[in-house]
């Protein structure tokens, strides 16, 4: 079945940060039994805040003590609970790294750590940009790392995570971003990438908010007579090596695009596989360079680092030339 995307549509904004709270509410209303821990950035007026007010007996606020929150979430899971835990993006991997490593991953417990404000979307400046997280998560055993492309995929992942066995990171951005999928009528399986748009000249392997930018880059390239394939690699770990192999065997140019540091993230993971395979085509990573990202509006930051549609298309043309 063909996947219906927003490739030919105008931007339709959605908000994954609101969507996951709405889905938790629906899951609780459906009778699913889980516990929710959260930090101080959950406003009572938000969908997540409304969930905590309706189901206070299963919700625990840890304020600004993120390491304690992650450690307690592991304890709740060891007691037999499925735990969803929302933590402000940059504080999750940086402040609570030890607890993620030792309490969550080592014990292999059913905790779903939801890192909001990921990438350069925090708006709090270089210290609040969450760009080093994927490198950390990839190096920790037992972690599944899910980076939804839009709010609809976030909802599907939140629901599917309930029955998933083992710890999981769910990485979402701060606010509204364009929808990638025009319909939720597609299968989401952790560890299985989605060929979001077909193409024969090159492949753009992307995740999170960069999937939409990749689609728009494919549209720019299409106008120039170039056929670009777009892959939604929504699960960074475990990585879908079969999809990467399919791309490597069918196209001579591969680009990996992510809203994270180019060191240790999706691009590094793809590069490692291609190098070990002996890929003889051209490859490039697109992401935040080895620096603290600039502060600015999201479009301006994307444009500066050339991780927007125009930047991806520009890199593709360079490689094809």
pLDDT in tens, 197-220: 999 999 999 999 999 999 999 999
CA separation for the pair 304, 321 (Å, rounded): 23
Residue 1 has a pLDDT of: 43
In sequence order, what are the residues at sequence separation of 6 or more whose Cβ sits closer than 8 angstroms to the Cβ of residue 141?
A: 105, 106
Identify the helix (H) or strand (E) that includes residue 176. strand 176-178
Least confident piece of the model among 3-7, 58-62, 197-201? 3-7
Contact 77, 111 (CB under 8 A): yes
User: DSSP assignment of 33-95, as one string?
Assistant: --EEEE-TT--TTSHHHHHHHH-GGGEEE-TT-HHHHHHHHHHHHHTT--EEEEEETTHHHHH
Give the model confidence (pLDDT) of 86-117 as tens digits: 998 888 999 999 999 999 999 999 999 999 88
What the block records as the tokens of 281 is: 């085509």
What the block records as the tokens of 276 is: 């070990």
Mean pLDDT, the chain, rounded, equals 91
pLDDT (mean) for 78-85: 97
Residue 175 has a pLDDT of: 62
Domain annotation for the chain: domains and CATH numbers: 14-178 (3.40.50.970), 194-320 (3.40.50.920)
Residue 47 has a pLDDT of: 83
Closest residue by Cα to residue 210 from 131, 157, 283, 321: 131
CA separation for the pair 253, 178 (Å, rounded): 26
CA separation for the pair 198, 276 (Å, rounded): 25
């Amino acid at each position: 079945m063909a996947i219906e995307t927003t490739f030919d549509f105008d931007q339709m904004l959605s908000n994954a940060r609101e969507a996951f709270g709405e889905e938790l509410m629906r899951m609780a209303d459906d009778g699913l039994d889980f516990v929710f821990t959260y930090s101080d950035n959950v406003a009572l007026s938000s969908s997540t805040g409304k969930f905590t007010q309706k189901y206070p007996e299963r919700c625990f606020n840890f304020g600004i003590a993120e390491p304690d929150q992650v450690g307690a979430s592991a304890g709740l899971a060891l007691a037999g609970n499925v735990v969803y835990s929302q933590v402000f993006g940059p504080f999750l991997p940086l402040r609570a790294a030890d607890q993620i490593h030792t309490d969550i991953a080592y014990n292999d417990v059913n905790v779903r750590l939801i890192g909001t404000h990921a990438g350069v979307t925090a708006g709090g400046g270089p210290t609040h940009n969450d760009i080093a997280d994927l490198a950390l998560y990839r190096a920790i055993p037992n972690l599944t790392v899910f980076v939804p492309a839009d709010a609809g995929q976030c909802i599907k992942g939140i629901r599917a995570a309930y029955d998933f066995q083992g710890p999981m990171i769910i990485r979402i951005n701060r606010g509204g971003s364009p929808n990638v999928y025009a319909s939720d009528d597609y299968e989401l399986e952790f560890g299985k990438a989605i060929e979001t748009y077909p193409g024969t000249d090159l492949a753009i392997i992307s995740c999170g908010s960069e999937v939409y930018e990749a689609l728009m880059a494919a549209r720019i390239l299409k106008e120039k007579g170039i056929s670009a394939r777009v892959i939604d690699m929504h699960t960074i770990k475990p990585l879908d090596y079969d999809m990467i192999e399919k791309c490597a065997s069918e196209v001579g140019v591969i680009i990996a695009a992510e809203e994270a540091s180019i060191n240790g993230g999706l691009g590094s993971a793809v590069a490692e596989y291609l190098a070990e395979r002996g890929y003889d085509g051209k490859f490039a990573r697109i992401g935040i360079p080895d620096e603290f990202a600039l502060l600015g509006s999201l479009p301006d930051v994307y444009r500066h680092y050339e991780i927007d549609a125009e930047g991806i298309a520009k890199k593709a043309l360079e490689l094809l030339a």
